Structure 1
Amino acid sequence: MAPSISTNPLLSLLLFSFLLSLSIFHPLTTAQPLYQNCETALNYTSNSTYASNLKTLLASLPSNASRNNGFYNTTVGTNQDPVYGLVLCRGDVTPARCQSCVDEAINMIKWVCSNSKIASIWYAHCQLRYSDKRFFSLMEDAGKITLYNTARINNPTQFAPFLNDLLSNLSNRAANDPSLGMFATEKTKFMGSQDVYGLVQCTRDLSMNDCSSCLEGALRYLMGCCSSYIGARVLTTSCNLRFELYYFYTDSDSDSGPTPAPPAAPNPTFKGKKGKKSRVVAIGLAVTFVGLVLLGCCIFHLLRRRRKPQEARKQQSPHSFLNNLGVTNTDLLNIDICGGSPGENQELPFIDFGTIQHSTNNFSFENKLGQGGFGAVYKGVLADGKEIAVKRLSIGSSQGLKEFKNEVILISKLQHKNLVRLVFYCMEKEEKLLIYEYMPNKSLDFFLFDQIKRAQLTWRIRHNIVNGIARGLLYLHEDSCLKVIHRDLKASNVLLDYEMNPKISDFGLARTFRENHSEANTNKVIGTYGYMAPEYAMDGLFSVKSDVFSFGVLLIEILSGRKNSRSYLAENAQSLLAYAWRLWCDGKVMELLDPVLIDSCPMDEVLRFVHIGFLCIQEDATDRPTMSSVVLMLGSKSMTLPHPTEPPLYEGKRKVISEQSPSNAKTSSNEVVISEVEPR
């Protein structure tokens, strides 16, 4: 057992002295950063060439930024260990305020990102970035940071399009008017009375097109997450935008404004008093730090006692993990789903329960995303800032345990950019958790079937979503050693990441086949009305062509903005497929399209997508194309398409046991459930 640190007075004294020196020499900045990002994977040593180059670069930034209208980028050490740096001050601040902000940013980034080769930091008035790789003139908007006021706007339905117009106009001005220096602000009134202030800005090394693209992506992200709040901002390394209901920037024709001025020099009359106050603050901070670190040492000592069993679990392979769950089908475990050599993809990353409990705020109601097929789903944030979706198996759920086993078998080995990804698992005592990448834009139906939000689904975004879903299905059907039939493809099971890229999720009804099998039959038909192929709904027969049918329905929905549901049937006396087919036969396909697409999409391409959709929903499964043919047809403008036959336009002749998939009951957009996995 390790000795107790708290019982060693000499060590405690050393700790106290060390932390006291840290608190005295640590810069007491006048403002806190909005956000900082320190890449810990690449580090430099204190006496290295990189450290020397970085020191020189940082020293050059404040004065040069203030002399160059708030923007400056430079390189130090072009031959060995080069450092690339960039600083941008907000376009409305004075040179003095700009220099003051950059000074603060440098002091803080040296403190919080010490020894990191790549780092970024954002303040209200400036942002700073450095790297060991050249990034000048490259638009980078991945890893968007969002800050928002949690209070809600009173009229969100009317406010969303108003806000979109405001920030879109500002983005166009900033990107296309050279005289503005890629910075624009505007004040306008919402519903004739409420003042709304907007601001957008790009780093000035970008081209006009890149600035426009960066702001467009940031705006799309803001509208997806924060359009119902009374204020929000999106930060990236290449651009940022913000709106508020109060005046937060300075007019271009004024030297003053609501933003606090840089700190003035101390009044000599109060100099001694302020110095005494600073020393008291420093001592108070030192004592606080000492107490926290000693507490941390005690916690560390206790955690070390648990390290060995924890590490043993971390090394657990899927074989032993699944055996603990009662999975004995070693033949299935040995199948290489991803197409690599045997033995690859066998390590399943473990994470301890305490970490997940902390990341979800002890599985609080506020973090709950929904209720899935075998338990609740929560949002979590790990210590490094990584967002996750956590599925927690309901204790005592036999059906949930079965799905949990199958999900570990299947999803842990499926690796494709258009499938949701499993990142960790946890199994401690009665707790069983699966941890997935978090999808911030929820699911496709959240946008597609909302009268306001679907305007955000431009033709470019819908085109990308359709192609992504098709490629994901192709991987499941043909590019893995097992044929995986999803059986429940629909808009709510397509998740959207930060960039609105699609990820197929919720494998609650998934079934698998060997390569020499292509179809199977079940006595228990479970699925979602409107998406099930007729041979499955009536006879329980499913195959890859069943998924092709669901894809065709989903494609018609994406193009029309309408849902093929019972409610549509009740309201219109016909299904969406029947309505679409009638328009096709009458040569009136334009009436099928979502009105928001009419003026913004290439009609020949849209009509081709409609044609492909009808080929996928033909009644006879043998007439439907495979997903490999679908992907080829979607990507080719010259390929001649066959004429489709009539889709099924009738009600099912056989009772469907469950028209709602297990995860459809108040489910999270991040939910993924695995049902039976049976090699045939």
Structure 2
Amino acid sequence: MGTSIRLIFWENSETTLVGSAFPTYLKAVCPTTDLYSPNSTYQGNLQHLLSSLYSKAKYGTGFFNTSCGSFPDTVYGSFLCRGDVSADVCLDCVETASREIIIRCPNQKGAITWYDECQLHYSSQSFFSVDADHPVFSLHNENNISNPDQFSRVLNEAMTSLVSQVAFDPSRHMFATKEVNITAYQTLYVLGQCTLDLSGSSCYSCLLNSVAYLPTCCDGKIGGRVLRASCNVRYELYLFYTRSAIAPTPSAIPHPTVRTTDEGKDGLSFSTTLAIVVPTALAVVVILSLCYILLTRKAIKKENHVGNESQPVGSLQFDLDTIRAATDNFADANKIDEGGYGTVYKGILSNGEEISVKRLLGDSGEIAEAFKKEVFLMAKLQHRNLQRLLGFCSGGGERMLIYEFVSNDCLDSLLFDPENRAQLDWPMRLKIIEGIARGLLYLHDDAPLRIIHCDLKVSNILLDGKMNAKISNFGMAIGWVDDQTLVNPHRIAGTYGHFAPECVMHGQFSSQSDVYSFGVLLLEIGVAREMNEDAADRPSMASVVLMLSSDPSTLLMPRSLPPSVPHRAEPQRTAGELEPSARELGEYNAEIISIDEVTFSELSPR
């Protein structure tokens, strides 16, 4: 008997990494422990299969299955889009699923992933036309129904009718919905679907088993669903599907017969006939012209959409041997940066392309989550002021992100170095600031998924050969929708001195959080100094009062600070402790940050 996985949808432990503009991720299951080796024939066949599924999704069929390769490295795969979603939504979902499934189930020879809009399945064993009884999992709404007996009766009747329609009505294409009034003010909405390779009897059996599982997972709940590899059912007390996309095609409307007769006889006169026929013909011409224009625009839009897609799935994943060769087996001579997250190496691919390899350290859940998040977010982002993600490498105990190589390193290596700082004259600093601002504008307003960076600072700004600024390091970034404020009092992550007050005090994150960090970054670029955290460098209030009351000409010149104020020693943390403790934050909040470099001018009138 197959393993059942029971989840609560509204408190799902899996982190949703995308907003409503993207497919809504539900669950991925890696049912086998059979792994393929990096750079193997099976991996190549899998990459070809996923690319093929994505290509077929462009045709708007909603379902497709195929295989790739020969025994023993054959890979079987399929996708199924929810019957009411548009062709563009289906394409987006299949593209996302194809890209993410190899990250959520790395090196697995079989996996299945569900989204609200589609599902994608691949395996080393053929599963076509098979009513698989596993895997299966359920999601339910936490709220309870007020009239459980009546609700259960109506739900059973609706589901029984729905199952027959899905399985045995050819016009439904194995997808159907149904609406039933429970009371005058309450409507039940139900949905069922099977993969199109099942026979009617197999579909019927799969749906019946799913409906039979509803009392186990969702009894007394106002909403729930059961998802299997071959079918799924769902019910809610709100409309969760698109009516227009599934409305039955109306029967042909008979055209009225116009009978021409001589003037004065029974029927329509010639002039009356013209008065009817001519406007009708013109209306038909106008309607056909509008339809042609709309269809042309849609085709152009879809062509542009496909043309602007992120890299194909096969090109995102690098095998470990390729990265080892590019970095000379991670030689120290190729090391360009190092921190608590890991090490960055310069590499050169076999085609001569220079790359930057971020090799993450540790194997904690937080490291894994940050890795997945950065891949998911950056794969969709394309802007001249963002460091471009080329791909990733996962396997053999390694997690690595592959980026374009940026020749001038981080901004802080120039800004806080007394010798290199000479390169940054005021026009150059203004150019860098404008580049950062444009990158943030893209993240906040123009990106496919709107992003809050959450860790904007000079060390996360890279400079290319033409001194163009590129925002990097998206491991702490979060997606958001519209102008919402995300509240998470337990998520205080970032860099001391760059936190927005609402983040520290209330755990509130919004685009304005990045704006605050941008303001701190402006100050640091302007004065070429890091935030002053050394309390010993701050004057006492007695000194301040004395300065304010003294003749400016008698004041001593302020002490010059070192070129770069050393960072305060931070407590040692394990790989899993990426965020400061509440005690540390309390100490930080108690500090008063100031800059003890002041200027003075003659106040007497000239």
Q: TM-score range by the shorter chain?
A: 0.3 to 0.5
Larger-gyration structure (1/2)? 2
Q: Which has the higher helix share?
A: 1
TM-score normalised by L of structure 2: 0.41
